Structure 1
Amino acid sequence: MIVLRSTLFNALFFGWSTIYLTICLPILILPPRASSWVGKVWTRMTFAMLKSICKLDHEIIGLENLPEPPFIIASKHQSAWETMVFSILVDHPCIVMKRELNWIPLFGWFTARSGAIGINRSGGASALKQLVALSRKAVAEKRPIIIFPEGTRVEPTKKIPYQPGVAALYSQLKVPVVPVALNSGYFWRRRAFAKRPGKITMEILPVIPPGLPRKEFLPLLEERIETACARLPVPVHHDSPASVEEKRNRRKNKAAY
């Protein structure tokens, strides 16, 4: 049933997206905020299909922790879901993402026009300077900046080091950072076809105010996000990432004997 529901969702999602974004093409000549509005409608429709077809809903905890813009949202990144949710969570967000996404026909045109920051992840120091420069413009426009500190999607059972981009923004922009935890990877895994039924939980954590030394900020951010993620609900899926890892460990233990 999960495969059938996921197949139907994918077919409707790509069909709806192509038709809707094609109809909206004239909006690209309007100011960037109009393209953000296109993304908001697209996300709401996508979430409605996820709920009705895949039985995948979501809840957001801690909305009261969002300050007045400008601010930086530093979010855990486990699936494609969180790349969409911020378009309906905050007004006219500036999302930091890999530049290749801006090259996708239709979708990429609207993200680029909305003012998303496309970063060359192999660009080193020059990419970091570009990120800070473009983010200053977003702050001047009082836009929330969305960044995924890990730099890529990571399964819930795994950890990778947080990248320096978020620390550079924190130290240079002098605005609050809002840590965000979630468990989306248990339902919509990285590069996975299936969308599992259930409820994704996102928790918006209390802000980290500006002014901390850079060397203190990044460990604090990571500790807050990872601790919050660890306490979020874990669904009972026989082939969830946690279960897969557990099965691997059992096989290793048997092999040892």
Structure 2
Amino acid sequence: MNARFLGIAELGEAPSVAVVVDVMRAFTVVAWAFARGAEKIVLAESLDEALALKARHPDWVALKDGPPAPGFDMVNSPGLLRSVDLTGRTVVQKTTAGTVGALAVKEASLVLCAGFVVAEATARLLRARASDSVTFVVTGEDGHADEDLACAQYIARRTTKAGTDAAEFLRRAGESRAAAELAEGVRQGVHPDDVALCLELDRFTFGMVAALEDSLMVLRRCEVPSPADEASA
């Protein structure tokens, strides 16, 4: 597999297969939302679009980066989300990096969204797809966020080499600027457990696939092939 690691601004024409990585915190939050029962996640282009979608669908749950704001139900924090019952709900998400990255590759034939919490599941989906080329979108810090790059590199390795040790990749993520800013309270809308939750390797066994549905970019939970299924494929 030929793996490319690009920032959002470096993307050219739509890749065939894209893995959009946002460890701290967009796609860790999405994974928790699915674990708490959410049916789907709608990725909004802007805060205004998120609020407009919420206005049209009052039963949807809207969340954003930063501090609480009028019209939004929650903030982009896995620690705050993990105790919320989202059974059957639709979540509208707008973040600084993760949602932007997914929307930037919306024309790709396959878009996976990932963090460490779904790393192995994402690697299994890529193995099942058996794509020759995969573009990993490193969303944070204009493509230089080490937590996102470390996760992307780890998933790429796991896709082709099942025995890859995660320790060094998790260490890099834990020492990243994003981790420090979350731990030190530089960012708003943060729970004390957010960094630890973002670094939980393979907490969930499902992958997350985004696709256009009626002009909206919608993220859905995707069950992955089991190791036995992979071996017999």
Normalising by the smaller structure, the TM-score range is under 0.3
Q: Which has the higher contact order (CA 8 A, sep 6+)?
A: 2
**Between Structure 1 and Structure 2, which shows a larger proportion of helix residues?**
1
TM-score (norm 2): 0.28
**Between Structure 1 and Structure 2, which shows a larger proportion of strand residues?**
2
The structure that has the greater radius of gyration is 1
